[in-house]
Amino acid sequence: MSVASSLRKVADPRLELATITSVSVSADLRHAKVYWMGHDRSKIEDMQRAFDGASGFFKRQLAKDLRIKAIPELRFYYDDTLDTREEINALLERVSLAEGSESK
């Protein structure tokens, strides 16, 4: 079982529309960074609190399936990749529009 599949078992409604985008595990397997995205940007802070509160649940779920001595400490981070891409696209569009108005 993975963190992403465990997400479906979380009872917190704030995480219903969350998606795990990637997980980065340290070389010593003691720490894992879990990146997530949500569909409603206005609820990012609430969702972050929900992930932070559910970290023990996710760790227990992983402990059931992984056969290693220590389960990594999970830290959750909002994945702002799409937000950054949208900002860059908006800037490029503005530059394009400005160049178009200058050439007239």
Domain limits, the chain: 3-79
- Identify whether the C-beta of residue 33 lies closer than 8 Å to the C-beta of residue 75: yes
pLDDT at 103: 65
* Residue carrying structure tokens 């997980």: 23
pLDDT at 1: 54
pTM confidence score: 0.78
Measure Cα distances from 8 to 19, 38, 86, 87, 90 in Å: 10, 14, 28, 31, 34
Structure tokens at 8: 């479906």
DSSP state of 40: -
Distance between CA atoms of residues 46 and 10, nearest Å: 15
Q: What CATH number does the domain located at 3-79 have?
A: 3.30.300.20
5-63 pLDDT, tens digit per residue, is: 888 888 899 999 899 999 999 999 899 999 999 988 889 999 999 999 999 999 999 99
Structure tokens at 99: 């160049």
Q: Angle CA(88)–CA(91)–CA(96) in degrees, nearest 5?
A: 125
Measure Cα distances from 87 to 7, 34, 63, 83, 90 in Å: 29, 23, 39, 6, 5
